[in-house]
């Protein structure tokens, strides 16, 4: 069991840092794009925003769309956890395990927001039919190449305040790097299989 402890500790650390950063922003910052804490000038700063949907603010348009998103997140977290246990049981290469560990930590980090923040931080929007499972995810890491209000003549998004890169959080970073590791591991696997097939063909 000790050889698996490092995976659990990293998984737990990511969730704690993610939730700690979100609660700190909630307690110390004003909501909205007009309020910042500059880290590296205007390029990188903390900006407290809420995301009711999924990545890039995408949402389902029906009444219980957020509830569906929350249950998708919960199901994905459960599936990834089961998959990690299988990988550990079969002594899979560490790069695969690390990739899925990062994905699980990120998924759970944002699940906590969706399930509990509507109740405990009272951040469910007015359109939500209930507060449970309708919490908004807190984002704060802002790489600001450009932000502003789009002209009204632009279809759908005209008049909305946007930034070039989405504002994200620690959980999103974990998901990003988890996917990156898995993509890299998958490419290595394909190259290895291709090389093996070529060698067998020559022999």
Tens digits of per-residue pLDDT, 58-108? 666 667 778 888 999 999 999 999 999 999 999 999 999 999 999 999 999
Average pLDDT over the chain, rounded to an integer: 87
Of 9, 181, 18, the closest CA to residue 100 belongs to 181
Query: In the structure, what pLDDT confidence band is assigned to residue 138 with cuts at 50, 70 and 90?
Result: very high
Tens digits of per-residue pLDDT, 12-67? 999 999 999 999 999 999 999 888 999 988 889 999 999 987 655 566 666 777 88
| Two structure tokens written together for 105 | 């930590």
Q: Does the reported pTM lie above 0.75?
A: yes
Q: Tell me what pLDDT residue 62 has.
A: 64
User: Percent of the chain beyond pLDDT 90?
Assistant: 61
172 is catalytic: yes
User: Percent of the chain beyond pLDDT 70?
Assistant: 85
User: Whole-angstrom Cα distance, residue 112 to residue 73?
Assistant: 10
Q: Which of 18, 113, 144, 172 is catalytic?
A: 172
Is residue 199 pLDDT above 80, yes or no? no
Q: Tell me what pLDDT residue 162 has.
A: 65
Which H or E element spans position 104? helix 94-112
140 near 39, Cβ under 8 Å?
A: no
3-state secondary structure of 107: helix
- In the sheet that holds 37-40, the strands lie side by side as 37-40, 44-51, 137-143
Q: Which of 18, 113, 139, 144 is catalytic?
A: 139
14 near 110, Cβ under 8 Å?
A: no
Q: Tell me what pLDDT residue 57 has.
A: 55
139 is catalytic: yes
């Amino acid at each position: 069991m000790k050889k698996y402890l490092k995976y659990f500790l990293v998984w737990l650390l990511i969730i704690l840092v993610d939730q700690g950063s979100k609660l700190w922003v909630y307690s110390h910052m004003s909501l909205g794009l007009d309020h910042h804490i500059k880290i590296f000038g205007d390029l990188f700063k903390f900006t407290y925003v809420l995301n009711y949907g999924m990545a890039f603010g995408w949402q389902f348009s029906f009444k219980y769309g957020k509830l569906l998103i929350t249950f998708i997140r919960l199901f994905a977290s459960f599936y990834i956890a089961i998959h990690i246990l299988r990988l550990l049981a079969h002594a899979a290469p560490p790069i695969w395990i690390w990739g899925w560990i990062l994905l699980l930590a990120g998924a759970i980090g944002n699940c906590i927001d969706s399930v509990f923040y509507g109740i405990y931080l009272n951040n469910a929007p007015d359109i939500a039919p209930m507060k449970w499972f309708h919490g908004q995810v807190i984002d704060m890491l802002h790489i600001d190449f450009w932000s502003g209000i789009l002209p009204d003549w632009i279809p759908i998004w005209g008049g909305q305040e946007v930034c070039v890169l989405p504002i994200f959080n620690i959980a999103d970073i974990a998901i990003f790097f988890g996917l990156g590791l898995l993509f890299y591991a998958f490419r290595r696997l394909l190259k290895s299989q291709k090389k093996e097939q070529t060698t067998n063909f020559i022999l």
